[in-house]
């Protein structure tokens, strides 16, 4: 599609003799459409050109040569140059692109670049909770969007399948395994054991020591411990898969923490050689005070077992070699900020290329609290995600029963709406914000929600169905879409790819979810302002086509977020 921004930047570059790319990065999209489609702030050039911004603006306006069939008007307002794109040209560009691109907005923008995304990563033998949901949903959306922009993406589920907690579970299982029906209901039963053993550990230092020993034995390959561990892992994965099936999640690698057990000695060896790995109370640590991090990174505990951090360091080494990544994203709650600061800092000692350590990024997100408060496995106060999703589906079903009892495939629709509502909720605000989970808000069809976006899509479908035909692009007269509300939609659709790029620049899928809300609202306005099915065939063709375009973009965008669209609801 024509890149208007680039055309404008090029034309300005010819006047002021400054790099086109740099100029392009200054161009803004005015909030108020009255100020044009693009604005160039001349303040940025004042220093270099030693002139007042309004003067620069006037100068450029006088000298600029720009195709009038593309930019119909250039205006100076204060230190700004405002550019008005020829509206009919914009409509034509957008609708022709909709017509020819099976997958609108898909591109080769990121071709040749590898993006590793570490997301979801629940802990074996513990419930898959609402924090892992956020990671799964945010990571999944980023995965889809990067891929759509032509990047090669690698999704990794860095399962928490190793660590001291397994020493505890093994001990609990040894003591009381027979009392629990683990095959039947693995996570719940293992959680009970975990809570019980933790209680005992609090009271009895010897048991705690035994638990630590068990993990050491596991690391050393003890056959009894390994056997139990494997059993826990397999049973847990089967449970997690139920959630992934509901969400439609996909991973390219399931290498969890245990995968790195034989890869840690190399890390320790490299760190030893730097001379920075020092003894402290029997443990081996790296002091990071001079890097502004007050807590040292523990590489080996006093009993010789490794840590979560050591495994992440081994994973970095492995991922640089295996995936040659441009970025490695860790979609993990902000509670682990210190952990990633430490690990990223220590990774600089691993003798890997700087391009890799620069590519490491903690994509942090806020906590989710339920009306009942925050959750922790140790206290046993937790909501299981599978139950939460099923509850959402059943609430969606109730709403459908009430509003549209005649609907076909009610269960299928309820699943799309219920799951979509939960996913959209997780993506609708900037990820760093804490979030309170509130059923009434999530499933509100009029609010800024997943169901609202789905409902708007369904409306576009029903308009097309009522029309009973689909005009070809040749039958569309582009000058029939110059009214305010049509223009709004066209502009939004034109911006779709740019929105996706913004998501990847900030690792922020909420930019796309906000966009979908904007587009849905723009369609509602268009629908209220205009009769779509009318006498005048030319106007009708144009409006039907625009309706189709909106539906197409809503569906594509939702899919990228991991949300399926129902055809009716």
Going by C-alpha positions, the residue among 84, 106, 91 that lies closest to residue 40 is: 84
| Residue closer to ligand ARG (CB basis): 121 or 519 | 121
**Footprint (CB under 6 A) of ligand ARG, residues 276-315:** 312
| Residue closer to ligand ARG (CB basis): 330 or 452 | 330
Per CB under 6 A, 37 contacts ligand ARG: no
| Residue closer to ligand ARG (CB basis): 151 or 259 | 259
> How many alpha carbons fall within 13 Å on the CB side of residue 337?
8
Q: Is the Cβ–Cβ distance between 121 and 158 less than 8 Å?
A: yes
Q: Is the Cβ–Cβ distance between 463 and 532 less than 8 Å?
A: yes
Which residues fall within 8 angstroms of residue 497, CB to CB, at 6 or more apart? 1, 105, 107, 109, 149
Other Cβ atoms closer than 10 A to 83: 27
The span from the CA of 88 to the CA of 91, in Å, is: 5
Stretch that binds ligand ARG, among 118-126, 138-146, 432-440, 478-486 (CB under 6 A): 118-126
| Residue closer to ligand ARG (CB basis): 347 or 488 | 347
Stretch that binds ligand ARG, among 86-94, 116-124, 473-481, 502-510 (CB under 6 A): 116-124
Q: Is the Cβ–Cβ distance between 494 and 93 less than 8 Å?
A: yes
**Which CA distances in Å does 199 have to 127, 380, 475?**
18, 12, 73
Among 89, 92, 93, 118, binds ligand ARG (CB under 6 A): 118
Shortest Cβ 237–ligand ARG spacing (Å): 14
Strands 327-333 and 114-118, by their bridges, are parallel
**Footprint (CB under 6 A) of ligand ARG, residues 503-562:** none
Helix (H, G, I), strand (E, B) or coil at 436: strand
Going by C-alpha positions, the residue among 455, 464, 462, 457 that lies closest to residue 540 is: 464
Strand order from edge to edge, sheet including 38-41 = 38-41, 80-85, 71-77
Report DSSP state, residue 3.
-
Shortest Cβ 320–ligand ARG spacing (Å): 14
Q: Is the Cβ–Cβ distance between 266 and 306 less than 8 Å?
A: no
Per CB under 6 A, 121 contacts ligand ARG: yes
| Residue closer to ligand ARG (CB basis): 119 or 526 | 119
**Footprint (CB under 6 A) of ligand ARG, residues 156-215:** 158, 160
Burial of 563 (0-12, 13-18, 19+ CB in 10 A): buried
The span from the CA of 407 to the CA of 399, in Å, is: 12
Among 82, 114, 123, 454, binds ligand ARG (CB under 6 A): 123
Stretch that binds ligand ARG, among 117-125, 138-146, 288-296, 509-517 (CB under 6 A): 117-125
Q: Is the Cβ–Cβ distance between 377 and 126 less than 8 Å?
A: yes
The token duo for 220 is 């050393």
Among 7, 116, 208, 332, binds ligand ARG (CB under 6 A): 332
How many amino acids of this chain bind ligand ARG (CB under 6 A)?
A: 8
| Residue closer to ligand ARG (CB basis): 118 or 219 | 118
- From residue 124 to residue 163, the character string flagging contacts with ligand ARG as x (rule: CB under 6 A) and all else as - is ----------------------------------x-x---
**Which CA distances in Å does 385 have to 127, 232, 392?**
8, 19, 10
Going by C-alpha positions, the residue among 73, 71, 39, 36 that lies closest to residue 57 is: 39
| Residue closer to ligand ARG (CB basis): 57 or 363 | 363
Among 330, 344, 457, 523, binds ligand ARG (CB under 6 A): 330
Shortest Cβ 311–ligand ARG spacing (Å): 8
| Residue closer to ligand ARG (CB basis): 89 or 507 | 507
Shortest Cβ 118–ligand ARG spacing (Å): 5
| Residue closer to ligand ARG (CB basis): 40 or 128 | 128
- Which residue's structure tokens are 């620049």? 505
Shortest Cβ 337–ligand ARG spacing (Å): 12
| Residue closer to ligand ARG (CB basis): 49 or 367 | 367
Phi/psi region, residue 371 (left: phi>0; alpha: psi -120 to 50; beta: rest), is alpha
| Residue closer to ligand ARG (CB basis): 75 or 252 | 252
| Residue closer to ligand ARG (CB basis): 38 or 260 | 260
| Residue closer to ligand ARG (CB basis): 6 or 377 | 377
Helix (H, G, I), strand (E, B) or coil at 254: coil
Report DSSP state, residue 289.
G
Q: Is the Cβ–Cβ distance between 117 and 151 less than 8 Å?
A: no
- Residue number of the CB atom closest to ligand ARG: 160
| Residue closer to ligand ARG (CB basis): 323 or 330 | 330
Shortest Cβ 176–ligand ARG spacing (Å): 25
Stretch that binds ligand ARG, among 68-76, 93-101, 115-123, 502-510 (CB under 6 A): 115-123
Per CB under 6 A, 329 contacts ligand ARG: no
Going by C-alpha positions, the residue among 197, 215, 109 that lies closest to residue 378 is: 197
Residue 567 CA from chain centroid, whole number: 25
| Residue closer to ligand ARG (CB basis): 362 or 416 | 362
> How many alpha carbons fall within 13 Å on the CB side of residue 533?
10
- Which residue's structure tokens are 């603006």? 57
Going by C-alpha positions, the residue among 504, 483, 507, 493 that lies closest to residue 553 is: 493
- Cα 194–197–202 angle (5° rounding)? 125
Task: By CB under 6 A, name the binding residues for ligand ARG.
Answer: 118, 121, 123, 158, 160, 312, 330, 332
């Amino acid at each position: 599609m024509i890149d208007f921004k680039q055309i404008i930047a090029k034309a300005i570059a010819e006047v002021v003799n400054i790099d086109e790319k740099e100029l392009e990065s200054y161009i803004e999209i005015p909030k108020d459409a009255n100020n044009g489609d693009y604005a160039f702030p001349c303040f940025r050039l004042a220093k270099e050109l030693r002139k007042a911004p309004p003067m620069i603006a006037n100068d450029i306006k006088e000298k600029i040569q720009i195709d009038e069939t593309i930019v119909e008007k250039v205006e100076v307002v204060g230190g700004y140059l405002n550019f008005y794109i020829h509206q009919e040209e914009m409509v034509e560009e957008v609708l022709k692109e909709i017509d020819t691109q099976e997958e609108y907005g898909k591109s080769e923008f990121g071709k040749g670049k590898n993006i590793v995304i570490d997301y979801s990563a629940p802990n074996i033998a513990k419930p898959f909770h609402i924090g892992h949901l956020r990671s799964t949903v945010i990571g999944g959306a980023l995965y889809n969007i990067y891929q759509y922009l032509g990047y090669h993406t690698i999704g990794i589920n860095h399962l928490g399948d190793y660590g001291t907690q397994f020493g505890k579970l093994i001990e609990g299982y040894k003591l009381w395994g027979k009392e629990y029906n683990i095959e039947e209901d693995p996570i719940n039963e293992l959680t009970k054991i975990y809570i019980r053993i933790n209680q005992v550990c609090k009271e009895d230092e010897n048991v705690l020591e035994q638990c630590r020993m068990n993990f050491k034995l596991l690391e050393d390959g003890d056959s009894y411990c390994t056997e139990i561990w494997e059993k826990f892992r397999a049973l847990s994965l089967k449970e997690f898969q139920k959630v992934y099936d509901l969400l439609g999640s996909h991973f390219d690698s399931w290498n969890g923490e245990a995968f790195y057990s034989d890869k840690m000695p190399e890390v320790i060896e490299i760190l030893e050689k730097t001379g920075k790995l020092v003894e402290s109370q029997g443990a081996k640590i790296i002091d990071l005070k001079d890097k502004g991090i007050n807590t040292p990174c523990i590489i080996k505990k006093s009993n010789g077992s490794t840590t979560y951090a050591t495994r992440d360091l081994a994973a970095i080494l492995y991922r640089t070699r295996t995936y040659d990544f441009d970025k490695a994203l860790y979609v993990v709650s902000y509670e682990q900020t210190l952990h990633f600061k430490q690990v990223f800092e220590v990774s600089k000692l691993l003798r890997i290329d700087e391009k890799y350590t620069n590519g490491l990024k903690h994509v942090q997100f806020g906590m989710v609290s339920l009306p009942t408060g925050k959750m922790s496995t140790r206290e046993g106060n937790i909501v299981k995600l599978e139950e939460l999703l099923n509850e959402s589906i059943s609430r969606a079903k109730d709403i459908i029963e009430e509003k549209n009892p005649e609907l076909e495939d009610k269960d299928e629709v309820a699943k799309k709406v219920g799951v979509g509502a939960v996913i959209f909720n997780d993506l609708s605000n900037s990820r760093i914000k804490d979030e309170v989970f509130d059923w009434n808000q999530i499933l509100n069809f009029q609010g800024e929600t997943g169901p609202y976006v789905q409902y708007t899509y369904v409306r576009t479908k029903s308009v097309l169905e009522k029309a009973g035909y689909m005009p070809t692009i040749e039958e569309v007269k582009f000058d029939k879409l110059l009214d305010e509300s049509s223009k709004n939609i066209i502009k939004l659709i034109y911006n779709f790819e740019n929105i996706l790029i913004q998501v990847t620049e900030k690792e922020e899928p909420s930019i796309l979810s906000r966009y979908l809300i904007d587009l849905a609202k723009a369609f509602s306005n268009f629908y209220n302002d205009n009769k779509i099915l009318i006498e005048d065939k030319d106007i009708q063709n144009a409006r039907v086509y625009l309706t189709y375009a909106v539906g197409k973009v809503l569906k594509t965008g939702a899919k990228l977020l991991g949300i399926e669209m129902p055809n009716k609801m």
